[in-house]
Structure 1
Amino acid sequence: MTGALLFDMDGTLIDSEPMWHDEMRVFARRHRIEWTADDAHWTTGRPMVDWAERMRERGVTMDTTSVIATVAGAVAELVRDEVPWLPGSLALLERVAAAGIPAALITNASAANAQAMLEAAPEGALRFAVSADDVERSKPDPEPYALAIRRLGADASASIAFEDSGSGARSATAAGARLWFLTTQLIASPVPAERTIATLADVDPDELFAALG
């Protein structure tokens, strides 16, 4: 088996965190609950059920699934309307597709958000997505990355995961993947990373593909 490429979505491929934060604030105002900037920052990289439950604790009467579906659906529509690509991400995905490198999307977001990303990506770049709806335990548990690696038929120790959050970094490394950490959210990875980069624009595709072996 050979290695594969494993891409997180929010903060790695696209700059959608501000969209999530905005839609959470809109939702909170509609339901007349407090939702601060600190709350928004706290959600980054966390399973969606965590922030949905916090909203319910503050007075939202909808069930957890409906809270998630409402906010996630609004973000998915925004991404479909205009993809907020981060520097270098679209160009790298185009090279991945052209080279036929096995790659997948691994995200704590919903299946709707993952599908919007798959539709936006160059054809053949991302073979499938593993979303929160596909696993019992989201990041930081290793299950999402382990599932993606297994479905790709790849060797975990030869695969490279691109992550920008602490929970994502822990998930990828716990699954046995090599970590290339992006500093879009944090100044450094909370777990050892093979490389630390600012954005995917800092990645040389030829060097990356050679590193897969």
Structure 2
Amino acid sequence: MPSTSFAFDTNSRPYPVQAVLWDMDGTLIDTEPYWIAAEAELVALHGGSWSDEQAHALVGCALPTGARVLQEAGVSLSVREIIDWLSERVATGVRQHIPWRPGARELLAAMNEAGIPQALVTMSERSIVNDLLERIPEDTFQATVTGEEVGQGKPNPEPYVQGLRLLSAQTGSEFDPAYCIGFEDSDPGIRSASAAGLHAVLIPNATDPGQGPWRRIASLEDVDVELMGEWLVRVGA
């Protein structure tokens, strides 16, 4: 659940970064192999065929979209049943081991120490998110948005728009999306963050969306609060 004890003062912050919004799968934690393995297992159980190309095409997509593709590949379950089956497999993996991407935990902690609000914006459902939240410091995120809580998933901008709206409600401050950073790893995700007006930052992982109206970096290990502020100052100059 979002914390309500987070203090945020727009006028006193030494950094131009107003907020940071994070994708989860593939960006903060490297769970894409969990999803890909679960998809392959489910298709095989139903006697269908599944390829690496098909699996990678689903990276970052809304779960109902992926479920319908799995139905076309031979899975004879409802969309809801497919989502529940996959989510349980991935949640089990997260409970056993959180595969953090390099630099992710350190940057989350640095943002909190700097007093910069953070939101988690993911197409995974609440069951998986709660497993992660139970295993990290309670005040890490001031808002969370999950796949079943939006009308339209990524690449639509709605998830990030909602994330900003929830952060605003929690902190009592209005945010300029251009001074908020959205970290993503997939094509649907980076397009969603960019379309929401965020300073979108791509860290390619299982797939590489290529160039676009976003910043590309090699690793979160190379990022700190000061550098993120420099990104926004240069853009706003």
Contact 1:161 1:177 in 2 (8 A): yes
The within-5 A match list for 1:1-213 is: 3-153=18-168, 154-187=175-208, 189-193=210-214, 195-208=215-228
Q: Percent same amino acid at aligned positions? A: 36
Q: Whole-Å Cα distance in 2 between the matches of residues 113 and 93 of structure 1?
A: 19
Q: Whole-Å Cα distance in 2 between the matches of residues 128 and 38 of structure 1?
A: 33
Query: Amino acid of the residue matched to residue 46 of structure 1?
Result: C
Q: Whole-Å Cα distance in 1 between the matches of residues 211 and 51 of structure 2?
A: 25
TM-score w.r.t. the length of structure 2 is: 0.82
TM-score w.r.t. the length of structure 1 is: 0.91
* Partner SS, residue 95 of structure 2: helix
Contact 2:186 2:208 in 1 (8 A): no
Contact 1:100 1:125 in 2 (8 A): no
How far does residue 211 in structure 1 lie from its aligned partner after superposition? 5.7
Q: Whole-Å Cα distance in 1 between the matches of residues 70 and 228 of structure 2?
A: 41
Q: Whole-Å Cα distance in 2 between the matches of residues 100 and 129 of structure 1?
A: 17
How far does residue 135 in structure 1 lie from its aligned partner after superposition? 0.2
How far does residue 58 in structure 1 lie from its aligned partner after superposition? 3.2
Q: Whole-Å Cα distance in 1 between the matches of residues 149 and 60 of structure 2?
A: 17
How far does residue 150 in structure 1 lie from its aligned partner after superposition? 1.1
Q: Whole-Å Cα distance in 1 between the matches of residues 70 and 24 of structure 2?
A: 23
**1:33–1:119 Cα change, 3 Å:** same
How far does residue 212 in structure 1 lie from its aligned partner after superposition? 6.5
Contact 1:4 1:212 in 2 (8 A): no
Q: Whole-Å Cα distance in 2 between the matches of residues 47 and 189 of structure 1?
A: 20
How many residues align? The count is: 212
Q: Whole-Å Cα distance in 2 between the matches of residues 125 and 187 of structure 1?
A: 28
Structure 2 unpaired stretches of 5+: 1-9, 11-16, 169-174
Q: Whole-Å Cα distance in 1 between the matches of residues 210 and 167 of structure 2?
A: 25
- CA displacement 1:58-108 (0-9 Å, x = unmatched): 332221011011101110121121100010001111222323320011111
Contact 2:153 2:159 in 1 (8 A): yes
Contact 2:117 2:141 in 1 (8 A): yes
Runs of 4+ off more than 6 Å? none
Please, what is the CA RMSD of the aligned residues?
Answer: 1.9
Q: Whole-Å Cα distance in 2 between the matches of residues 121 and 99 of structure 1?
A: 18
Structure 1 unpaired stretches of 5+: none
Query: Amino acid of the residue matched to residue 147 of structure 1?
Result: Q
